Structure 1
């Protein structure tokens, strides 16, 4: 009897560990409510490619931050965006800004990236904790989730132990050292991304304040 109870308890704990917690997830990409300029991003712990815990608040304190939220390395539109931002990395650095790009990819997946720069870091939000905090997380319909999994082999985050899965709407934030948002761009249409010229202008306006 005691052994049965212990096994049951371990199974419950295991399921809780493997499942991410759902607290702010829209029913579609069109219904997300991203944090707006003037609001402060709460501190969230993420993981780097080595699985080391990283405090977002501590990173913000270092420099003005270009915070990019993308769907994953499997998404060609996201990969193109990250590559385009990499082209203006030196210009952003001259303006005193660092780049932090975040996705639901696991630390192991991040380790496969070709981006290697102290001023351009990829972090894992594999529990979607930050995506939910930023108001970007949304549930995929079953048909889309099935297509993505079958054709792209994408591993999505399960929420609260359920099969229903979620992703973040791609977004870009410009954040000061206090974590205050000065600029935000989020588009439910994942094929449309922020241009580098607009991003540079947004960062420049923060650096001049």
Structure 2
């Protein structure tokens, strides 16, 4: 089953089984963001990737310049380990990480979650690629990839027992737009997938097509 088929099935189950008090604010927040998101403000193909220095799960700084010294990057942003759609997307990428490596491409995931939670995600899926903490979503903001969830979502997180202060270090309810970027070795963005609908993600097969296109 493709990644997006899994995501669609997960969304269908949620719509069928979730209590209205949880389902309604989640679906309304998603729909409103889809209407208002300005894709033109997000990083574009042909842009130079802004440099970053972010923290990995064991507290080490990782710089984009160091990663790029090894070749192109496939960078994916995810909302958090609490998001079932992100969980599926990260697991799917892990299944394809070796194929990316054989093409000389380094896969990197970026999340606002603190290192303890990125470590949990790494261990859960036995990830063989770096997961980096974008504290306060500062880097995502540079790239125009912010989703400011409304206050109506606070009771939802409480019902699920998700302490966003513990996860992200603040209670802002800001997460990145789910996005994946292919950046060539010169640091130029060659392909982008940016979708305000977090239930949709880039298929790894499409990512591989992008990577093949770097030779052109």
**Higher helix content, 1 or 2:** 2
- Counterpart CA distance in 2 for 1:154 and 1:38 is 38
- Aligned partner of 1:144 in structure 2 is 153
Deviations 1:107-151 (A, max 9, x none): 111121224455x11111122111111110121110023312431
* Deviation (angstroms), 1:154: 4.1
> Where in structure 2 are the equivalents of 1:150-169 lying within 5 Å?
150-155=159-164, 157=168, 164-169=172-177
Aligned CA distance change for structure 1 residues 117 and 28 (closer, same or farther; 3 Å)? closer
* 8 A contact 1:74–1:152 mirrored in 2: no
TM-score, structure 1 length as denominator?
Answer: 0.77
Aligned length: 178
Q: SS state of the match for residue 69, structure 2?
A: helix
**Could you list the runs of 4 or more consecutive aligned residues of structure 1 that deviate by over 6 angstroms after TM superposition?**
none
TM-score, structure 2 length as denominator?
Answer: 0.75
Structure 1: 5+ residue stretches without partners: 1-26
The structure with higher relative contact order (CA 8 Å, sep 6+) is 1
Match of 2:117 among 79, 97, 109: 109
Structure 2: 5+ residue stretches without partners: 1-31
* 8 A contact 1:170–1:190 mirrored in 2: yes
* Deviation (angstroms), 1:184: 0.3
> Where in structure 2 are the equivalents of 1:77-156 lying within 5 Å?
77-112=85-120, 113-114=122-123, 115-116=125-126, 120-155=129-164
